[in-house]
Amino acid sequence: MLIFFILAFCTSMVSSAATASSAAAICKSTPDPAYCKTLLPRTSNSSANIYDYGRFSVRKSISQARKFSSIINKYLARKSQLSTPAVRALEDCKYLADLNLDFLTSTFSTVSSTSRTLPSLKAEDVQTLLSAILTNQQTCFDGISSTTSAWRVRNGITQPISNDTKLYSVSLALFTRGWVPERKNKKHSTTRNVRQGAKMYETLTKRNLLQATGDDSDDGGEVLVREMVTVSQDGTGNFTTITDAVNAAPNNTQAGNGYFLIYVTAGVYEEYVVIAKNKRYLMMIGDGINQTVVTGNRSVVDGWTTFNSATFVVTAPGFVMVNMTIRNTAGAVKHQAVALRSGADLSAFYSCSFEAYQDTLYTHSLRQFYRDCDIYGTVDFIFGNAAVVLQNCNLYPRLPMSGQFNAITAQGRTDPNQNTGTSIQSCNIMAAPDLAASDGTTRTYLGRPWKEYSRTVYMQSYMDGSVDPTGWNKWNGDFALDTLCYAEFDNTGPGSDTAGRVAWPGYQVINATVAMNFTVSNFLLGDEWLPQTGVTYTTGLV
C-alpha cells in the first residue's frame, strides 16, 4: 500500500478516459474542479468527451495568451514612465508570454489531430510544453511581485496571470487524462547500461574535432556536425567573442541536419551569452573546466530579475555544452545571481562547471541532462522547474553569508500534473574548500520546497558530513509539506543516514522500483534523444 501511494503521488500516474461525460464529471480530475466547471461549456451534446473539452480548453488558452501578451505590450509602450527593474520584469513576461503562445500553438496542432492516447514520446513532448507554460506564468508572476517599484504594474497584471494560470492548469490536466497513456510501474533492472560518449570529447586537445565527430566506433555513436567555427580571443579563430559565433549559427536547424559546433578556445570571456530559441541544435565545446570560462556579475541587488541575472542563457532545443565553466562573480552579498539559466528542451551539459553563490544553476523548464559537472553555490543553488537529471556530478556547498544556511535544491513544481522534478543520481555532495575550512556551524540541506508540489529525488549518491541529519528544510512554516515529493534511495556517506530525517507527509525513503521512475530512461525518456549528443549517460540504476 505504501509503495502504491508513493508511485501515485510522486509520478502522477494517470488513466485515460475517452467516454462521454459531463463537464462536472471531467472537472473532478483537475486541481481546481470548481474553476474548471465555470470554464468548460455546458453542452447538450451527449457525446462530448475528454478530447472535446481538452481541445476547447487549449483553444481558450491560446486566446487568453494573446490577450495577456497585449497587456504586457501596453505597459512596455510606456516604459519611459517605469523604473528599470519594472521594465526588466515586464520584458521577462513578454518573452515568456511569446514562448507560451508557441507552446500552445504546437499543443493544439497535436490535440486537434487525434482523439486517442498518444505514443509515450509524443505525449511526453506535449505534457512537457504544457508544464513549461505554467512555469513561465509563475516566473512572470515572481518577477513582477518582487519588483517593489512596480506596484502599478503588479495591480494591472497579477490578476490576469492568476486567471490564465488556472486555465492553463485545466488544459494540462485534461491533456494528461485524455492523451497521455497510462504509466506502467517500472521494474528494477540490475543491468548497468552505460552509453559511452563519442571520442570527440576526449580528443579536444588535439583539435581534430571534425575528424572525431564522424567516428562510429564501439566507444560511441556518430555525432553529426554540419559546420564548425572557432572562437579565439587572439584573433586566430573565426570569431573573437562567443556571441558573434552564436549570431552566425543558422536558424531553426532540424535534429537530423547535424550540429553547428562552436569551439571556444581557452580564455576568460567576459560576456553575457544568449542562445535564442531559433538557434536550435547548437553544440558548444571548450578546452576544459577552468580553461574556457564565461563570466558575468549581474544580480538582483543590482536591479536585475533573477531570471535575467544569468551569465549564460540557453532556450534553443537540442543544445549541448561540453568542457566549459560558467561563472557569476556577483558574490554572496548580492543574493540571487545566476550562472547558467536553461530553458532548453532536450539539452545536455557534459564536463562543465557552474559557479556562483545563491541561485547558481537555474534549471528553468523543459527537459535537461547534466553529466560529470561541478556545481558550486549556497542558497537554493540548483533551482527551477525542469524535468532534469544530474548524473555523476559534484555538488559543492560553499560558505554562505553569516546567518545563512545552504540549500542545494529549490524545486519549483506548481501543479501535480507537471512532469517536472530534479533527480540527482550517482553524484557527490561535498563541502567546498571554504565551507570545509569553516567553524562547522553552517547547516547544509538537500533542499527546500520553493513551490507547492516541489519534487526532488536523491539516489545512489555520496553525501559527506556537511549534510544536516534532518536532510531537508522548510520554506515557510508548513508550506508544501503535505504536497511536496522528496525522496532518497540507496545513498552513501556520513550525511546519508535517514534515521534523523524530517517526518513530513511528502518525504519518503523509496525502494528500487520507485527509484526507477527517476532514471534517465524513464524520467527523461533519454534513450530517445541523448545518444545523438555523444554525452555519456547511465540509462537506469547503477
Catalytic residue positions?
A: 380
Measured in Å, how far apart are the chain's first and last C-alpha atoms? Answer: 26
Neighbours of 206 (CB within 10 A): 9
Q: Which of 429, 472, 422, 475 is nearest to 452 (CA)?
A: 475
Q: Which of 151, 207, 171 is nearest to 39 (CA)?
A: 171
Nearest-angstrom CA–CA distance, 410 and 320? 24
Nearest-angstrom CA–CA distance, 14 and 11? 9
Grid cell in block for residue 409: 535544491
**Helix (H, G, I), strand (E, B), or coil: what is residue 326?**
strand
Nearest-angstrom CA–CA distance, 214 and 94? 41
Nearest-angstrom CA–CA distance, 227 and 244? 15
Which residues of 304-431 form beta strands (DSSP E)?
A: 312-314, 320-322, 325-328, 340-342, 347-350, 353-355, 361-363, 367-371, 374-377, 379-384, 387-391, 394-397, 406-411, 421-425, 428-429
Q: Which of 145, 4, 32, 26 is nearest to 85 (CA)?
A: 145
| Helix H or strand E segment including 463 | strand 462-463
Asked whether 351 and 322 are in contact (CB, 8 A), the reply is yes
| Helix H or strand E segment including 286 | strand 282-286
| Helix H or strand E segment including 269 | strand 267-270
Contacts of 30 (CB under 8 A, 6+ apart): 36, 169, 170, 173, 174
Asked whether 500 and 480 are in contact (CB, 8 A), the reply is no
Nearest-angstrom CA–CA distance, 322 and 353? 10
